[in-house]
A and B are shown apart, each in its own frame.
Chain A
């Protein structure tokens, strides 16, 4: 089931169980047989909480996807809509309800809003004349979803855009709420650190909510020692860089959604002996990716250049284990061997899968295009020629490479130069608009507003200072046996994680100057614990920090934090939370206007 959630330092299964309990309670409110109509977007996040078996236990007999028109006939007592609070979905629901009414069925309707009820939606249902058809209208607060043993995500895709472009801080309210839920389950977090405007807002809301609950003391022994809130706009650079860990590359190239990836099927074709591969599968191969899979947990955070060696080592171990059968002589030994078979077979199929995935990725990472792109990124990150028009970018535009690739590079150059020289800025803008269409002026505007792309205002470029002070570039990054977080980008150490690292030791006081160069305030707050809940720390016991990335985090950053957790002398374990798992492409896309109108 979800055992992988409880392996870590903090048992996140508690959170998952709480979420499941609430779901069961809601389902039981609607007595009798049920059909669920799903807002398709929600099936991913819900899959992280509950499988069909749980629903089935509570008399869910059928499931449909929300579509306009008639509902498929279900022959159940209850029809429940699981939806996000969106107006367009309300119109579809209304259509569904009308169509069902025409059948004169005596079915009861219910709505479960995820994550919040919305007045506007209910009003829309009322306007459509169906509000009174619903017996139950409820909300299912799915703020923080346990994603893996050390990872929580709100799966709130538009959080960055809302906070930094639209000035809508609803996502921050949800964040604060989620953190309150977390504290209710895992105890009050005594220390709060933060950097950035949004971090400040969230901390303020948390403190206020705590005051409002002043009557009831939280009597749970705190699991977390520290909470670190980081705004994504404190570190705009990291997501723009191509991630070079195994998991990061899978996400960059194929996109991981709610813990699943869809891959081209060719390399996964089952080769049966003697049979020509006559029909290749056409459906994409879907793989679930989390630490429940032993091999994946082992290799996902490695630099991709170290994955091949790890896989072949694993292959040898598995082959050796299978060879053991020849040594099994006695009945007892054979029995022993057979009992291990299922585990071994699972390991073998896992190995086969990841070998195929690694092959797919290697085809791309060894291509000239990938190499050229990476070279330019690394030049920018080391501060080479960031004040000139870059020929590679220029050529990529004239070749009509995907717009998002261009935007990632141009933004990166801008960030690494603390804004582009006006001439360079105008040049890129003109080339992009002429080649991809003038309508993208809105997107360029958005990027400017978010601070990702801007003309240089002061002549002083403080990026080199930041880079040097925080050691963002390490010349001799060891990809095979890393000794520093910079291995995740083969040289670049993510700024956000450096901030986290320095906070643990020697503390932010040592980098006051740099902190002032980065946007937003930095702060520290303490939350009083009731007497008797102060932890008595054992000698050598690690401390636990929850790092919350407001506006998204990349897999490579997560890998870097896991690396820090595993470092023997770090004395710190990290749990990671975020509004959404992102990469440069999904992130830029969320900031685009009409991304679908991209030139082919």
Chain B
């Protein structure tokens, strides 16, 4: 932001033409001001009620203090925060000294009050000194119109507060306590005005602004997804919503939760849609690991084991000869087990754990007998095999397999390659 002189500052804070106020165009600046004045004076001559005008002026027509909004005329959220609510009883103070010939400003305090009574547009900002303001106040009292008295008081208050703001800037401790006070009494309007008046910048670095932008994008998407899915759910045509009714709205959930939701309900959508997991992954630069964990959890919950298969083996195309995962297969097994995956599925992933000890530990824990037996076989350890025979069911295929291995130690070695191959085929 640029540091302006007080008067200009007021102009900038109040101008509706903010969008045009690029930093350096001095010419444009003054031209805008001129045209604005012209527009204002025309308006006051025409004396038409104009909704837009209320942002700029105090216009009284016997209605309570407040901005009139036509029904259905929605104010954008940001607008109502920073503009109108401040303007509510903060008429403009934006008049630079050169504006002395302004048409409106020629009215006396008495005339001004009179015009206010008639509900005409007036400009209060020409009453600059406290004395002028008090004079205005006295006339308003004589008018016996509560609305007008209030308007003038509020106008006076606002300008006094602005003076206070400026004085506090050089008294930081007092300023902090004032901010604290405003926070306490929840005077957000004044707080916001104070902060913007003092050129407080939000404490966000460019890096952080990116996060804020992401937050915004996420909310936007959540709104779209929520609306679409709610309709789909009510219509009752999409099977997944019937089978697994949505438990809560996705609005305001964290990104990873949203990703999980989309992996659950929208997994196979093409990347072009807002709710496609792949699209979310790319838009928000989600790390590979996070993405895998989330997909894994969501698909496992649905017992969509084939999706997992595809998730891990799709990498074959890139030249990998076996299943690969950005997170250890140990953790993959953990997640699967938590979602009560059947032994068959578990076995497949336990077998992919690199570390032999870890693999055996997991295999024993999840009763993946084949893996235990094969590992012991590869270790050529009869004792362990003997010990494990006691742990499998009597008369089961596993027991027979162990017996076979124990009975034919010579064959075992000779047929090692065969067995190895066999393991891969299953």
A contact set with B: CB distance below 8 Å: 87, 120, 166-168, 394-395, 397-400, 426, 429-431, 433-439, 441, 445, 599
- Pull 30 A–B residue pairs with CB atoms less than 8 Å apart, ordered by A: A87-B184, A120-B181, A166-B180, A167-B173, A168-B176, A168-B177, A168-B180, A394-B289, A395-B331, A397-B290, A398-B289, A398-B327, A431-B290, A433-B214, A433-B215, A433-B255, A434-B256, A434-B286, A434-B290, A435-B255, A435-B256, A436-B254, A437-B254, A437-B255, A438-B211, A438-B255, A441-B204, A441-B211, A441-B215, A599-B257
B362 within 8 A of A: no
Neighbouring A residues of B204 by C-beta, 8 Å: 441
CA distance in complex: A87, B181 (Å): 10
CA distance in complex: A434, B286 (Å): 8
Q: Could you count the A-B residue pairs with CB atoms below 8 Å apart for me: how many are there?
A: 66
CA distance in complex: A425, B331 (Å): 25
Q: A398, B284: Cβ atoms under 8 Å? A: no
**Nearest CB in chain A: distance from B213 CB, A:** 10
Q: Which 3 A-B pairs have the closest CB atoms?
A: A438-B215, A437-B254, A434-B255
Q: Which of A87, A398, A426, A436 contacts B293 (CB 8 A)?
A: A398
Q: Which residue of A lies closest to B291 (CB)?
A: A398
Neighbouring A residues of B417 by C-beta, 8 Å: none
Q: Which of B203, B211, B290 contacts A435 (CB 8 A)?
A: B290
Neighbouring B residues of A441 by C-beta, 8 Å: 204, 208, 211-212, 215
Q: Which of A168, A394, A426, A599 contacts B254 (CB 8 A)?
A: A599
**Nearest CB in chain B: distance from A395 CB, A:** 7
- Tell me the residues in window 181-236 of chain B with beta carbons closer than 8 Å to chain A beta carbons: 181, 184-185, 203-204, 207-208, 211-212, 214-215, 218
Q: Which residue of A lies closest to B294 (CB)?
A: A398
Q: How many residues of B contact A (CB 8 A)?
A: 32
**Nearest CB in chain A: distance from B257 CB, A:** 7
Q: A167, B176: Cβ atoms under 8 Å? A: yes
Known: A87-B185, A167-B176. A433 touches B211 (CB 8 A): yes
**Nearest CB in chain B: distance from A287 CB, A:** 35
- Please indicate which of the listed interface residues A120, A168, A395, A398 has the most CB atoms of chain B within 10 Å of its own CB: A398
**Nearest CB in chain B: distance from A71 CB, A:** 25
Neighbouring A residues of B327 by C-beta, 8 Å: 395, 398
B344 within 8 A of A: no
Neighbouring A residues of B257 by C-beta, 8 Å: 599
CA distance in complex: A398, B286 (Å): 11
Q: B254, A445: Cβ atoms under 8 Å? A: no
Known: A167-B176, A434-B284, A438-B218. A426 touches B207 (CB 8 A): yes
Neighbouring A residues of B218 by C-beta, 8 Å: 438
Neighbouring B residues of A400 by C-beta, 8 Å: 256
Q: Which of B214, B289, B293 contacts A438 (CB 8 A)?
A: B214
Neighbouring B residues of A399 by C-beta, 8 Å: 293
B287 within 8 A of A: yes
CA distance in complex: A166, B183 (Å): 13
* Further pairs besides A395-B327, A399-B293, A435-B290: 10, Cβ < 8 Å: A87-B185, A394-B289, A398-B294, A430-B285, A431-B287, A433-B214, A433-B255, A434-B255, A438-B214, A441-B211
Q: Which residue of B lies closest to A170 (CB)?
A: B177
CA distance in complex: A400, B180 (Å): 34
CA distance in complex: A445, B212 (Å): 13
CA distance in complex: A397, B290 (Å): 9
- Tell me the residues in window 301-325 of chain B with beta carbons closer than 8 Å to chain A beta carbons: none
Neighbouring B residues of A437 by C-beta, 8 Å: 252-255
**Nearest CB in chain A: distance from B248 CB, A:** 11
Neighbouring A residues of B177 by C-beta, 8 Å: 168
Q: Which residue of B lies closest to A86 (CB)?
A: B184
Q: Which of B176, B208, B254, B286 contacts A166 (CB 8 A)?
A: B176
Q: Which residue of B lies closest to A446 (CB)?
A: B203
Q: A120, B184: Cβ atoms under 8 Å? A: yes
CA distance in complex: A70, B252 (Å): 37
Neighbouring A residues of B287 by C-beta, 8 Å: 430-431
- Please indicate which of the listed interface residues A395, A399, A400, A434 has the most CB atoms of chain B within 10 Å of its own CB: A434
CA distance in complex: A394, B287 (Å): 11
**Nearest CB in chain A: distance from B391 CB, A:** 23
Neighbouring A residues of B184 by C-beta, 8 Å: 87, 120
CA distance in complex: A437, B255 (Å): 7
Q: Which residue of A lies closest to B213 (CB)?
A: A438
